[in-house]
């Protein structure tokens, strides 16, 4: 046992080592990615690990391993669970032999996500247990024990930390990693693993029969607990429970929910001992609905009566105010303070030298009247450059583009998608678009890596999660195999040829694919690539502002002239767009 | 119940806030104290405004309630102003005296913030300005600005400077230990004049 200052995801990774885990899969997604990144970086790893191509693939792989008796972990962000929902729902019927833990990290306030969905709803939907940690220590302990819980009930377990668990830090007591020594062995049992109707009807009944025992066990194991102290109770789950504990007065009862399903009999008894209860949780009112079902005539406050906000994330300050409005005096109150007004916002931007920027620049010039469906990755920041008209979910740039093309819309449709996102779920959309005769230009922004989530390798990168070489997949060959007859690859730093390629694509019928390829500028720098940087000749600069409009963070304006700062990475695109020829090579190396 | 001593670190993605907050966290462990923290990860870091919350002696949530930070360490002066409302009435802001102009200002043709104006507005709070850029260069690497700032702020944190230095030695890359040790000392010297009430360092 030792105490370390750990990131939530580090603590989770450590808990898995203590279980121990034998098999790890996942697809990167904030805030879940560091778990696999930490596990795959371990020098003496004795378990299998992979970055899978998408979450469905990841979960099915983990399920296969768990059916062979291994302890398997599958990580993803909450929206990844949508992709993996198909195997999840039926894996509850088939069950598992080895423990299977599905970590689905939720993101209240959508810090880096397209929505604020709640993975606990999936657990309820699939009827599998769900663990909901309230702190980093609890996340560590819960995931360590989750594999055994999964084995006890022969069910996958959903583990759902939130952003403020995954990406917060704290002093954490960890145990000793245990070597992974299990070897998979598949025992044939078609009645369990082949879900034809005759089998699945039986499996469904067995799944339902497990539920009561699970709820009781989660109370016995201490995941759901209560301290009755007075006529009023606060019921809280996840990190909201920690916020509540910081300001809860000693006269108020506290019921803490850390796992689902909640034992209704236990909950009913507790609620009935109070005159009124307040339920505080983030995201969907999962606990509140359970409480309302058993509360009888005890009044319940929460999201449904407007006491607790239904969107965004909570905090100690927010919880303190919620208690005050409900009629509990918190031990600390935090008067609302206003930030200083009128400061220029500092939003994240594409890096200096990012390959996406010249693609967006050229795209907007060639297709001035175009419609620009896009996708999920760093390039979503192209929104600031007027180059992103739609983003909904992974792979949808291609499918939304084909939908628009069949709708009767006559303008040019130019979709952009990253390499990893294309491999995740863009390929089927492309196949469909060609098959059904859509009209679009698809630009694959191929920076050879899954950049946004922290540079995880993908099948195009030439390396696996464990660092083994693997042949980089050919995006050109994939597109041709999908039936695209016109596929061109360009260097996005070469603005002339990029522009000419886009112009050529514009005049052709059907689906055209342009692959713009340059390594992510951060990866290139880490690999030691140094290009000569650029500088502005102040004599030649006319102050026209064209380079400023390009939006590179290395270009500033000083005394009505452009100025290139030391953020310059030497892509050289600004020198190609400067109408006065005032930008030249020759800055500092 | 002992209240936590809340420190908010703010700056621009890429300035080393995560390392700086790890140093403070490690120093807490070295002194046997509990600590909680939270920080910006992922794409938001790409040149965006970032924050790191550290609650020394913290036992509960990682987020500092606005209006209750005892110390703000700002690696960028404009970001100091953006987060100043987190400060408790008796708190201190230790800020770099430089700032990066947000790229959107140039793109959208807005007014470039004025240094003197930012300073004047920051002086509404107890303020210690440090020339972290110059001191980091003096120490041997512009990348050591985060450690310069920790040195300056060390006067205002309930942690021993030896604990911070020990954490620095354990956490920075081995070949930069000496640079960072110098950076910490230079920052600490700069901060001492603020502590003595002489105003700007």
Does the beta carbon of B66 lie under 8 angstroms from any beta carbon of chain A? yes
Q: Is residue B174 part of a domain?
A: yes
Asked whether the beta carbons of residue A31 and residue B43 sit closer than 8 angstroms, the reply is no
Contacting residues of A for B163, CB less than 8 Å apart: none
| SS3 (DSSP) at B19 | helix
Neighbours of B7 (CB within 10 A): 28
How many Cα atoms within 13 Å fall on the side-chain side of residue A99? 24
DSSP 8-class letter at A390 = B
Beta strands in A195-286 (DSSP E): 224-227, 232-237, 253-257, 259-260, 276-280
Paired strand residues for B71: B7, B92
- Phi-psi domain of B83 (left: phi exceeds 0; alpha: psi -120 through 50; beta: other): alpha
Calculate mean pLDDT across residues A300-319: 97
- Euclidean distance between CA atoms B67 and A580, whole angstroms: 51
- Euclidean distance between CA atoms A360 and A369, whole angstroms: 14
- What tens digit of pLDDT does each residue of A485-512 get? 999 999 999 999 999 999 999 999 999 9
- ipTM for the whole complex: 0.94
Contacting residues of B for A553, CB less than 8 Å apart: 47, 103
Which of B41, B72, B142 to probe the A interface (max A CBs under 10 A)? B41
- Euclidean distance between CA atoms B76 and B9, whole angstroms: 10
Task: Please name the residues between 6 and 35 in chain A that touch chain B, using a CB distance below 8 Å.
Answer: 30-31, 34
Asked whether the beta carbons of residue B42 and residue A556 sit closer than 8 angstroms, the reply is no
Asked whether the beta carbons of residue A167 and residue B13 sit closer than 8 angstroms, the reply is no
Kindly state the tokens that stand for B184: 């910490």
- What is residue A1's predicted lDDT score, i.e. its pLDDT? 86
Write phi, then psi, for A134 (nearest 5 degrees). -105, -5
* Of A268, A272, A245, the residue nearest A256 (C-alpha): A245
Contacting residues of B for A346, CB less than 8 Å apart: 12, 47-49, 78-79, 82, 102, 104
Contacting residues of A for B47, CB less than 8 Å apart: 346, 348-349, 351, 553
Query: How distant is the Cα of A334 from the closest Cα of chain B, in angstroms?
Result: 7
Which of B15, B107, B113 to probe the A interface (max A CBs under 10 A)? B107
Pairs of CB atoms within 8 A across A/B: 160
Question: Over 50: is that where the pLDDT of A372 sits?
Answer: yes
Please name the helix (run of DSSP H) or strand (run of DSSP E) that holds residue B180, with its range, or none.
helix B177-195
* Of A577, A569, A415, the residue nearest A496 (C-alpha): A577
| Fold for the domain defined by A2-217 | Rossmann fold (3.40.50)
| Structure confidence at residue A415 as a pLDDT band (50, 70, 90) | very high
Domain A224-326 class in CATH = alpha beta
Contacting residues of A for B35, CB less than 8 Å apart: 5, 169-171
Does the beta carbon of A299 lie under 8 angstroms from any beta carbon of chain B? no
Task: Please name the residues between 161 and 200 in chain A that touch chain B, using a CB distance below 8 Å.
Answer: 164, 167-171
Q: Count structural domains, chain B.
A: 1
Apex A138 CA angle, A135 and A139, nearest 5 = 85
- What is residue B42's predicted lDDT score, i.e. its pLDDT? 63
Asked whether the beta carbons of residue A242 and residue B66 sit closer than 8 angstroms, the reply is no
| SS3 (DSSP) at A130 | strand
Query: How distant is the Cα of B32 from the closest Cα of chain A, in angstroms?
Result: 9
- What is residue B110's predicted lDDT score, i.e. its pLDDT? 85
Q: Which residues contact A405 (CB under 8 A, 6 or more apart)?
A: A413, A433, A438, A439, A440
* Of B94, B123, B116, B67, the residue nearest B192 (C-alpha): B94
Per the omega criterion (within 30 degrees of 0), is the bond before A20 cis? yes
Shortest CB distance from B61 goes to which of A239, A345, A347? A239
Q: Is residue B78 part of a domain?
A: yes
Asked whether the beta carbons of residue B106 and residue A170 sit closer than 8 angstroms, the reply is no
Query: How distant is the Cα of B143 from the closest Cα of chain A, in angstroms?
Result: 13
Measure the CA dihedral A407/A411/A413/A414, to 10°. Answer: -170
Asked whether the beta carbons of residue B103 and residue A551 sit closer than 8 angstroms, the reply is yes
Query: How distant is the Cα of A317 from the closest Cα of chain B, in angstroms?
Result: 5
Query: How distant is the Cα of B48 from the closest Cα of chain A, in angstroms?
Result: 4
Q: Which residue of B has its CA nearest to A2?
A: B29
Kindly state the tokens that stand for A563: 């100025």
Question: Over 80: is that where the pLDDT of A82 sits?
Answer: yes
Write phi, then psi, for A572 (nearest 5 degrees). 80, 5
- What tens digit of pLDDT does each residue of A440-477 get? 999 999 999 999 999 999 999 999 999 999 999 999 99
Query: How distant is the Cα of B7 from the closest Cα of chain A, in angstroms?
Result: 14
Q: Which residue of A has its CA nearest to B4?
A: A246
Q: Which residue of B has its CA nearest to A30?
A: B42
Contacting residues of A for B19, CB less than 8 Å apart: none
How many Cα atoms within 13 Å fall on the side-chain side of residue A276? 9
Mean pLDDT estimate for chain A: 97
Does the beta carbon of B37 lie under 8 angstroms from any beta carbon of chain A? yes
The rounded percent of chain A whose pLDDT value lies above 70 is 99
Q: Which domain holds residue B177?
A: 5-195
Which of A4, A8, A165, A171 to probe the B interface (max B CBs under 10 A)? A171
Q: Is residue B59 part of a domain?
A: yes
Contact B102, A346 (CB under 8 A): yes
- Euclidean distance between CA atoms A62 and A47, whole angstroms: 12
- Euclidean distance between CA atoms A247 and A316, whole angstroms: 7
Apex A242 CA angle, A237 and A247, nearest 5 = 120
| SS3 (DSSP) at A5 | strand
- What is residue B44's predicted lDDT score, i.e. its pLDDT? 61
- Euclidean distance between CA atoms A484 and A73, whole angstroms: 37
CATH for the A534-585 domain, from 3.30.930.10, 1.10.10.10, 1.10.1840.10, 3.30.70.20: 3.30.70.20
Every domain of chain A and the residues it spans: 2-217, 224-326, 356-526, 534-585
Kindly state the tokens that stand for A224: 């759901």
Contacting residues of B for A317, CB less than 8 Å apart: 63, 65-66
Q: What is the CATH number of domain A356-526?
A: 3.40.50.970
Does the beta carbon of A271 lie under 8 angstroms from any beta carbon of chain B? no
- What tens digit of pLDDT does each residue of A515-574 get? 999 999 999 999 999 999 999 999 999 999 999 999 999 999 988 999 999 999 999 999
Task: Please name the residues between 118 and 177 in chain B that touch chain A, using a CB distance below 8 Å.
Answer: 121
- Euclidean distance between CA atoms A311 and A110, whole angstroms: 10
Only one residue has tokens 């989770």, namely A12
Q: Which residue of B has its CA nearest to A350?
A: B46
Task: Please name the residues between 33 and 62 in chain A that touch chain B, using a CB distance below 8 Å.
Answer: 34
- What tens digit of pLDDT does each residue of A188-213 get? 999 999 999 999 999 999 999 999 99
Calculate mean pLDDT across residues A345-369: 96
- What tens digit of pLDDT does each residue of A388-410 get? 999 999 999 999 999 999 999 99
Task: Please name the residues between 81 and 110 in chain B that touch chain A, using a CB distance below 8 Å.
Answer: 81-86, 101-107, 110
| SS3 (DSSP) at B31 | coil
Helices (H), A281-395: 286-294, 316-326, 356-366
| Structure confidence at residue A49 as a pLDDT band (50, 70, 90) | very high
Contacting residues of A for B40, CB less than 8 Å apart: 167
Asked whether the beta carbons of residue A246 and residue B37 sit closer than 8 angstroms, the reply is no
> CATH no. for residue B146?
3.40.920.10
Contacting residues of A for B74, CB less than 8 Å apart: none
Contacting residues of A for B26, CB less than 8 Å apart: 5
Domains A2-217 and A534-585 share a fold: no
Q: Which residues contact A499 (CB under 8 A, 6 or more apart)?
A: A362, A365, A366
Kindly state the tokens that stand for A47: 């378990």
Q: DSSP secondary structure string, B93-146?
A: EEEES--PPPHHHHHTT-PPPPHHHHHHHHTTSEEEEE-HHHHHHHHT-GGGHH
Measure the CA dihedral B121/B123/B128/B132, to 10°. Answer: 20
Q: Which residues contact B31 (CB under 8 A, 6 or more apart)?
A: B159, B160, B163
Q: In chain B, which residues have pLDDT < 50?
A: 198-201
Task: Please name the residues between 445 and 484 in chain A that touch chain B, using a CB distance below 8 Å.
Answer: 452-454
Asked whether the beta carbons of residue A551 and residue B107 sit closer than 8 angstroms, the reply is yes
The rounded percent of chain A whose pLDDT value lies above 90 is 97
Which of B22, B27, B75, B103 to probe the A interface (max A CBs under 10 A)? B103
Query: How distant is the Cα of A277 from the closest Cα of chain B, in angstroms?
Result: 22
pTM flag (> 0.90)? yes
| Structure confidence at residue A587 as a pLDDT band (50, 70, 90) | low
Q: Are strands A414-418 and A440-446 parallel, antiparallel or unpaired?
A: parallel
């Amino acid at each position: 046992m030792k105490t370390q200052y750990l990131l939530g995801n580090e603590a989770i990774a450590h808990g898995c080592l203590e279980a121990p885990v034998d098999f790890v899969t996942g697809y990167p997604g904030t805030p879940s990615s560091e778990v696999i990144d930490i596990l795959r970086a371990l020098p003496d790893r004795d378990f299998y690990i992979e970055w899978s191509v998408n979450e469905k693939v990841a979960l099915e792989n983990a399920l296969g391993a768990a059916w062979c008796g291994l302890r398997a972990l599958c990580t993803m962000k909450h929206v990844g669970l949508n992709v993996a929902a198909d195997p999840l729902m039926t894996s509850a019927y088939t069950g598992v032999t080895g423990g299977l833990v599905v970590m689905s990290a939720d993101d209240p306030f959508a810090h880096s996500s397209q929505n604020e969905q709640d993975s606990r709803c999936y657990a309820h939907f699939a009827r599998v247990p769900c663990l909901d940690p309230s702190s980093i220590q609890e996340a560590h302990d819960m995931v360590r024990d989750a594999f055994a819980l999964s084995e006890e009930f022969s069910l996958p377990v959903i583990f759902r930390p939130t952003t403020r668990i995954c990406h917060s830090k704290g002093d954490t007591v960890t145990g000793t990693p245990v070597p992974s020594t299990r070897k998979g062995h598949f025992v044939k049992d078609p009645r369990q693993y082949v879900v034809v109707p005759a089998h699945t009807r039986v499996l469904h009944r067995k799944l339902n029969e497990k539920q009561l025992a699970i709820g009781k066990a989660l109370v016995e194991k201490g995941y759901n607990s209560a301290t009755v102290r007075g006529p009023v109770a606060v019921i809280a789950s996840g990190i909201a429970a920690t916020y509540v504990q910081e300001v809860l007065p000693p006269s108020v009862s506290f019921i803490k929910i850390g796992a689902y399903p909640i034992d209704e009999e236990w909950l009913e008894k507790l609620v009935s001992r109070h005159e009124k209860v307040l339920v505080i949780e983030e995201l969907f009112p999962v606990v509140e609905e359970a409480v309302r079902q058993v509360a009888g005539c005890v009044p319940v406050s929460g999201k449904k009566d407007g006491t607790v906000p239904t969107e965004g994330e909570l905090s100690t300050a927010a919880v303190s105010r919620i208690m005050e409005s409900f009629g509990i005096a918190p031990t600390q109150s935090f008067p609302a303070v206003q930030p200083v007004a009128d400061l220029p916002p500092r939003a994240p931007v594409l890096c200096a030298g990012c390959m996406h920027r010249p693609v967006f620049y050229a795209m907007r010039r060639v297709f001035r009247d175009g419609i620009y469906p896009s996708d999920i990755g760093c390039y979503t920041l192209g929104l600031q450059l007027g180059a992103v008209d739609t983003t909904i979910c992974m792979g949808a740039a291609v499918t939304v583009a084909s939908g628009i093309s069949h709708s009767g819309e006559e303008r040019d449709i130019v979709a952009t998608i990253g390499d990893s996102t294309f491999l995740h779920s863009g390929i089927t959309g492309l196949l469909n678009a060609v098959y059904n005769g859509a009209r679009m230009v698809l630009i694959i922004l191929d920076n050879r890596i899954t950049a946004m989530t922290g540079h995880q390798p993908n099948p195009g990168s030439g390396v696996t999660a464990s660092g083994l070489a693997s042949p980089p997949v050919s995006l050109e060959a994939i597109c041709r195999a999908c039936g695209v007859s016109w596929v061109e690859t360009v260097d996005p730093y070469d603005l002339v040829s990029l522009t000419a390629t886009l112009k050529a694509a514009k005049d052709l019928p059907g689906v055209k694919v342009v692959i713009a390829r340059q390594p992510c500028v951060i990866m290139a720098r880490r690999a030691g690539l140094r290009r000569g940087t650029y500088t502005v000749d102040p004599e030649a600069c006319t102050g026209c502002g064209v380079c400023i409009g390009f939006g590179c963070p290395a270009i500033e304006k000083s005394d009505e002239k452009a100025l290139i700062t030391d953020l310059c990475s030497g892509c050289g695109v600004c020198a190609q767009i400067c109408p006065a020829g005032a930008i030249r090579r020759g800055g500092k190396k | 119940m002992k209240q936590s001593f809340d420190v908010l670190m703010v700056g621009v993605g890429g300035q080393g806030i995560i390392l700086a907050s790890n140093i403070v966290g490690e120093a807490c462990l070295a002194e046997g104290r509990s600590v909680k923290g939270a920080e910006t990860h992922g794409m938001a870091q790409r040149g965006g405004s970032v924050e790191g919350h550290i609650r020394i002696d913290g036992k509960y949530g990682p987020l500092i309630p606005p209006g209750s930070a005892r110390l703000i360490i700002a690696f960028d002066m404009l970001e100091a102003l953006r987060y100043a409302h987190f400060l408790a009435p008796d708190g201190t802001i230790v800020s770099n005296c430089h700032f990066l102009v947000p790229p959107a200002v140039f793109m959208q043709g807005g007014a470039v913030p004025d240094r003197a104006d930012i300073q004047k507005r920051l002086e509404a709070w107890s303020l210690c300005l440090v020339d972290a850029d110059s001191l980091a260069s003096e120490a041997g690497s512009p990348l050591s600005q985060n450690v310069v700032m920790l040195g300056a702020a060390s006067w205002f944190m309930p942690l021993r400077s030896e604990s911070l230095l020990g954490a620095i030695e354990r956490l920075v890359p081995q070949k930069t230990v000496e640079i960072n040790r110098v950076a910490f000392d230079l920052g600490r010297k700069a901060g001492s004049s603020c502590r003595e009430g002489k105003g700007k360092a």
